[in-house]
Amino acid sequence: MFPFRNSLAEERRRALVFFQKQAGLRFRDTGLLDLAFHHRSFSNENTKHEQSKSRINNERLEFLGDAVLGMVTAARLYSLMSEYSEGDLAKIKSVVVSEDTLSGIALTLHVNEYLVLGKGEEMSGGRQKKAILADALEAIIGALYLDSGYKAAEHFVLSLMNPQIQLVVQNRHARDHKSLLQEYIQKKYKTVPKYTLVKKTGPDHDRTFWVTVDVQGKTYGPESGKNKKEAEQAAAGTACRSLSLY
């Protein structure tokens, strides 16, 4: 079922044992953990048959891990925050399991050091891309669920999410500036902010994007990011601070 179960090189096996120690994990099937680190760019470059590609990348594990992560986090929020409404719980959950949060956790676990990427993705800085890191963390959760069951996966997820939940409770989490700005503008002016990409700088493999946001005729920015999404968040943050939304 899992193609790397019996084919791991000894060096890779030792590396994955070390990862488990630092992450507080214990897999029976190290090959399953290894699969969680295989990005689709690797399978795209190394597999001829389309039907086989999904079996040597982490996308299916990511799908499963996302569901486990969501369930465990939702249950924790439900029991911890009995005074909060469904809408508030949904907003908190979206922050706690956001790409920014998950990628940050992945970096603290050194997930980037164990990723298996295609050459193109490697050259374009894939080891530091938030989406790849967040997806790999979800894949690890999915792999742990298959390997050791729900309780083990729940324990691991809570060890990661409890500190993030506390940051939200203490209002020290990374804010979703775009959502906050849009909610405010829609409520006050019955319209939405307009984002404009004003320029891109740097070589193709290391682009910086510069974005402005227009609110009722006033322009904030430009602010920069490694992709348009990050730049838009930065511009929205500038607007939010100027409008005293924090």
* Active-site option among 121, 135, 138, 232: 138
Is 230 among the catalytic positions? no
In sequence order, which residues have a C-beta less than 8 Å from that of residue 175 and are 6 or more positions away?
Answer: 95, 237, 240, 246
174: left (phi over 0), alpha (psi -120 to 50) or beta: beta
Query: Is residue 66 annotated as a catalytic residue, yes or no?
Result: yes
Active-site residue, selected from the candidate residues 66, 121, 176, 223: 66
Sole residue written with tokens 């050194």: 110
Q: Where are the alpha helices (DSSP H) in the chain?
A: 10-23, 30-36, 40-46, 50-53, 59-80, 86-96, 99-108, 119-123, 130-148, 150-169, 177-189, 228-242
Q: Both tokens of residue 10?
A: 């000894």
Can you spell out the DSSP letters for 53-115? HGGGSSHHHHHHHHHHHHHHHHHHHHHH-TTS-HHHHHHHHHHHTSHHHHHHHHHHTTGGGT-
Q: Which residues does the annotation mark as catalytic?
A: 66, 138
